[in-house]
């Protein structure tokens, strides 16, 4: 993964390049954080684009997709510039559970404060938000465990 910094108008973007394709999933949160106060005093890590879009639609800000389950030290260093408080909201399947444990260990090793929001079995943040709505997502965040 390669990171590139670019200014477009008054916005600054970090772009990640994977497999020759440019994605903005991980990176669009950074201009948002610069403009908005950190909501819930934490950054929310999810797996994919649709998770970010659904939570944003429900007015849950400061959401970053890790483009799957892999989280790198470079990404953690970027996050640390904005907050030390992380809430993992990964899919409630086998891959999501493994990623939650692996990434929680990585984040803790880098000195981050980590909490885990547990979705019902088989759900992901996108479909859970669609089915249950903003109040359920906010309760999930409130109930996140260290």
Contacts of 111 (CB under 8 A, 6+ apart): 80, 84
Please indicate whether residue 72 or residue 142 has the higher confidence score (pLDDT). Answer: 142
Spatial neighbors of 23 by CB under 8 A, at least 6 apart, are: 15, 16, 17, 67
Confidence at residue 12, expressed as pLDDT on a 0 to 100 scale: 47
Compute the average pLDDT of residues 34-55: 73
Specify the higher pLDDT residue, 20 or 51: 51
Task: Name 27's bridge partners.
Answer: none
Report the pLDDT value the prediction gives residue 69, as an integer from 0 to 100.
60
Question: Between 91 and 9, where is the model more confident?
Answer: 91
Measure the CA–CA gap between 83 and 41, rounded to whole angstroms. 8
- Asked whether residue 5 carries a pLDDT value surpassing 60, the answer given is no
Tokens (6 digits) for 35: 């403009």
Closest to 28 measured CA to CA, from 4, 63, 57: 63
Residue 22 has pLDDT above 60, yes or no: no
Q: Tell me the pLDDT tens digit for each residue of 63-113.
A: 888 876 677 887 788 788 778 999 999 999 999 999 999 999 999 999 999
- pLDDT higher than 50, residue 4: no
* Phi-psi label, residue 42: left if phi above 0, alpha if psi -120 to 50, beta otherwise: beta
Q: How far apart are CA 72 and CA 144, in angstroms?
A: 23
């Amino acid at each position: 993964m390669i990171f590139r910094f670019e200014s477009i108008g008054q916005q600054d973007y970090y772009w990640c390049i994977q497999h020759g394709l440019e994605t903005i999933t991980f990176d669009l949160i950074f201009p948002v954080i610069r403009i908005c106060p950190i909501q819930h005093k934490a950054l929310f890590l999810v797996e994919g684009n649709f998770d970010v879009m659904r939570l944003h639609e429900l007015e849950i800000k400061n959401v970053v997709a890790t483009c799957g389950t892999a989280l790198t030290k470079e990404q953690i260093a970027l996050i640390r510039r904005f907050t030390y408080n992380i809430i993992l909201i990964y899919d409630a399947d086998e891959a999501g559970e493994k990623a939650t444990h692996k990434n929680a260990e990585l984040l803790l090793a880098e000195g981050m404060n980590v909490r885990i929001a547990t979705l019902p079995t088989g759900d992901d943040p996108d479909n859970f938000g669609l089915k249950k709505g903003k109040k359920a997502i906010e309760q999930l965040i409130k109930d996140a465990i260290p």
